[in-house]
Amino acid sequence: MEKCNGRDNNRLPLYKVVPLIVPFSVGLAVSDFCNFRCVYCKHSTILEKSQNDRMLSWDEFVNMANEVESLCIRGGQKVKVVTICGTGEPLTHKMLPQMIRYIKEHNWAERIELTTNGSLLTHDLSDQLVEAGLTRLIVSVQGINTKTYRDVCGYDIDYPRFINELEYFYTHKKKCFVYIKTVDIALKKGEQGKFYDMFSPFADMVNIESVIDVFDDVDYSKITVTDNKSRYGYTYDERKCCHDIFMRLHIETDGSVGVCSCKNPALHIGNINKQRLIDIWNGDLHRKYMKLHLMGRKNEIPRCASCDAFAKTGHPLDNLDQHADEILQRLV
């Protein structure tokens, strides 16, 4: 069992390979619904079921997946990782195993990840996810007992059942990698070691991440968040240029295409219900935003102006600042 921060360290320095023909990472949101109300998430600000919460139809999902596939075919490359995630809980979507199978069969992603709170896992669903071709399960744990779950995410979890389901998944996971993480605010002083002891038996990797200010709607001053702290434990290094915009796409349930996953709402560059994804990724707007970042003028993009989330999430090898001029030459 590895005890580290869950990032891929087997990577090239990003500056050597950008601009990318095909993004390294694609996120697909399949559901806006969440059964948790975590204090650091925008769902904590939603008291009633929102009228705007969407659940992707099968046809919408197929369109989303096919758009990514077209981009990969045209670029002659697979994406390195597709993550089923978003601000909703993916396990609330009844067709999730079929979606994973569809991606697997179309073979445009090297890795298929699912980020989940794990509370809706059952033996049967675990079997279906593994059989469908899931290659990485990422479970976000919100504390080491029922009371903390209630405090952090407003959810009455049946803790023994939860542990039993994680254990079942791990025992039946075949080649799927299991990564279990929690956030610093979900652990009281002295509980860190217990967290590792509890979850290490049924995880390939465990980690404690730091909460950073992701959601505009959340008042982080009420939550213990240390400024200038990296989510993954790296030394915080101030950056002028966001790496996410060069390597990531995230498609939301309404078809909006964003270029970052560490800020919500994301910086949007189009919508697959109006344009082809390939035209969005290679489009003028995306190119303009990348150039502004490289020129140190991200403040001209309202969404990016006050954002430093990328500096709190970026891998050291993704820092582009020292090579901005060189990359700009490739973009003109």
Residues that bind ligand SF4 (CB under 6 A): 242, 244-245, 259-260, 262-263, 266-267, 298, 303-304, 307, 309-310
CB of 132 or CB of 245, closer to ligand SF4: 245
List the 177-183 sheet strands across, edge first.
205-209, 177-183, 136-141, 112-116, 81-85, 25-29, 248-251, 256-258, 268-271
Distance between CA atoms of residues 15 and 102, nearest Å:
33
Q: How far is the CB of 304 from ligand SF4 (least distance, A)?
A: 3
Could you tell me the two tokens for 74?
Answer: 């045209």
Q: Tell me how far, at minimum, the Cβ of 192 lies from ligand SF4, in Å.
A: 28
Which phi and psi angles does 77 have, rounded to 5°?
Answer: -145, 155
Task: Compute and round to an integer the Cα radius of gyration of the chain.
Answer: 19
Q: Compute the least distance from the CB of residue 324 to ligand SF4, in Å.
A: 14
Residue with structure tokens 């709190």? 312
Amino acid at 81: V
- By beta-carbon proximity to ligand SF4, the closer residue of 153 and 262 is 262
Residue 289 per-residue DSSP state: H
Residue 182 or 313 having the CB closest to ligand SF4 = 313
329 and 27 Cβ atoms separated by less than 8 Å? no
Nearer of residues 143 and 314 to ligand SF4, judged by Cβ: 314
> Shortest approach of ligand SF4 to residue 36 CB, angstroms?
23
Q: Specify the residue, 56 or 290, whose C-beta has the smaller distance to ligand SF4.
A: 290
Are the C-beta atoms of 57 and 255 separated by less than 8 Å?
A: no
Compute the least distance from the CB of residue 303 to ligand SF4, in Å.
Answer: 5
Give 117 or 256: the residue with its C-beta nearer to ligand SF4.
256
Backbone angles phi, psi at 271, to 5 degrees: -145, 130
* Helices and strands, number each (H, E), in the chain: 12, 9
In the complex, minimum distance from the CB of residue 43 to ligand SF4, in angstroms, rounded to a whole number: 20
